[in-house]
């Protein structure tokens, strides 16, 4: 196994979180930009797992490294599970995090608190250059707040409210978010895969 792990994302929020979540693995985390890779993999899958696999397999093949890709989504019960795999594009192509948050809140403007339940889901795919793939998933349940609060995190974090903490995800210190978040839970499973000796994605 090469001494590098490619984080198949250009999302700096994700890169920062993975550098923390996987800091104990015996590999150097690198990004496509650091390797001069400009390939953009279209997320055309019908599920989080399909999208994560597409990105990981494509970047592993191009880089010759084991690649890690995730797809994360917010599933809002009152919206029938939307935005789900479309979370990053929910307010249209080129929309900002603020645009997406405001659009989601507009869809929920008449929904009472008790019906604003939601789930953050994350699927991480690890792929080898040969095309072997393993996936790990994690989830975190909460509510959609009526307005954004908090300066940490990214995406929908400012409106994802966690009753146990009485705060939104964006109000939590990063170390707590990483412990309880959907991405943190999936990453801990990935950590166990990457530190298993000998490393073999097909094992288990």
Beta bridge partners of 66: 5
Catalytic residue among 70, 71, 77, 157: 71
Contact 182, 139 (CB under 8 A): yes
Q: Is residue 71 flagged as an active site residue? A: yes
Q: Measure the CA–CA gap between 179 and 169, rounded to whole angstroms.
A: 11
Would you please indicate which residues are annotated as catalytic (active-site) residues? 71
């Amino acid at each position: 196994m090469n001494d590098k792990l490619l984080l198949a994302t250009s999302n700096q929020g994700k890169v920062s979180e993975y550098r923390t979540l996987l800091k104990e693995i015996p590999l150097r985390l690198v990004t496509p930009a650091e390797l001069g890779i400009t390939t953009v993999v279209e997320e055309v899958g019908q599920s989080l797992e399909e999208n994560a696999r597409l990105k990981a397999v494509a970047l592993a093949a191009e880089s010759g490294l084991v690649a890690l890709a995730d797809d994360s989504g917010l599933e809002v019960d009152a919206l029938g599970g939307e935005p789900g795999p479309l979370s990053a594009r929910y307010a249209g192509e080129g929309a900002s995090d603020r645009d997406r948050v405001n659009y989601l809140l507009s869809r929920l403007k008449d929904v009472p608190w008790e019906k604003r339940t939601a789930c953050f889901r994350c699927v991480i795919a690890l792929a080898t250059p040969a095309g072997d793939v393993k996936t790990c998933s994690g989830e975190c349940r909460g509510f959609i707040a009526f307005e954004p609060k908090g300066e940490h995190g990214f995406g929908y974090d400012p409106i994802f409210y966690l009753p146990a903490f009485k705060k939104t995800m964006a109000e939590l210190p990063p170390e707590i978010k990483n412990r309880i978040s959907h991405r943190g839970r999936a990453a801990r499973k990935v950590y166990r895969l990457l530190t298993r000796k000998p490393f073999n994605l097909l094992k288990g």
